Amino acid sequence: MELPKLILASGSPRRAEILGFVGWEFEKRVADVDETPFEDESPEIYVERLAREKSVAVAGEYPGSIVLGADTTVVIDGMIVGKPEDAEDAARMIRDLSGRWHDVVTGVALTRSRAGEDRVMSAIQTTGVKFREMTDREIDFLVRFGEPMDKAGAYAVQAQAALFIEEIRGDYWNVVGLPVSLVYELVKKF
């Protein structure tokens, strides 16, 4: 089986690592898009829209190539939890997640540009994650050593946060940052 080369329209080191883990050849090209959610935009529509915008933004530079865009957010009580602004914000986010279920929602989009026309296919993946109840000391530990600043929800499941995760329902790789099985299914349809 041969996987087609992808253009990864993302600056996420985790997405690049996941593609590398499965042996997917890719080139990285960061897409420059405004990631501000629209008013009253659901988390699912938000991440799928951003994934599509990222892949389309890069596709014109790589005619005929398959461009992969993705965006991930954490959702608690129906609200988008983005990346923390500072350590205090990270602590607040982790405190909100402590002892509760939340969803990790990722939008994935593939775009191929040919003769000035874009073919775009997209989907979303949702995974449930439950943190065990955490003490203030544990939250402080995670903020100081878990490198929360560039991560939706202020944690990385594959790092120190693993100490506090009680259960995952769904695709683990989605929580890391890219539901690679969903990407594969989309590529097969593409």
Lookup: tokens for 157: 């499941």
Residue 27: inside a domain: yes
Cα-based distances in Å from 171 to 72, 151, 167: 13, 18, 12
Q: Which residues are catalytic?
A: 71
Question: What is the average per-residue pLDDT within 13-23?
Answer: 95
Q: What's the confidence (pLDDT) of residue 152?
A: 87
pLDDT tens for each residue of 137-183: 999 999 998 788 888 899 999 999 999 999 999 999 999 999 999 99
Domain encompassing residue 85: 6-189
Give the per-residue pLDDT at 5: 96
Q: In total, how many domains does the chain have?
A: 1
Domain presence at residue 42: yes
Please report which confidence band the pLDDT of residue 117 belongs to, taking 50, 70 and 90 as the band edges: confident
Q: How confident is the model at residue 18 (pLDDT cuts 50, 70, 90)?
A: very high
Q: Which CATH number fits the domain that encloses residue 147?
A: 3.90.950.10
Task: Tell me what the pLDDT averaged over the chain comes to.
Answer: 94
**How does residue 116 score in pLDDT terms, banded at 50, 70 and 90?**
confident
Q: Does 1 map to a domain?
A: no
The answer to the question of residue 54 being in a domain is yes
Q: What percent of the chain has pLDDT over 90?
A: 84
Query: Quick check: 55 and 104 in contact, CB under 8 A?
Result: no
Please compute the mean of the pLDDT values over residues 11-27 and round it to a whole number: 94
Please tell me the predicted confidence (pLDDT) of residue 145. Answer: 87
41, two tokens: 């935009």
Cα–Cα distance measured from residue 97 to residue 175, given in angstroms and rounded to the nearest whole number: 14
Q: Which amino acid is at 139?
A: I
Dihedral sign from CA coordinates of 79, 80, 85, 86: positive
What is the pLDDT, as a whole number, of residue 149?
87
Q: Please state the separation of Cα 52 from the chain's center in Å.
A: 13
The pLDDT value given to residue 54:
97
Name residue, tokens 């544990």.
138
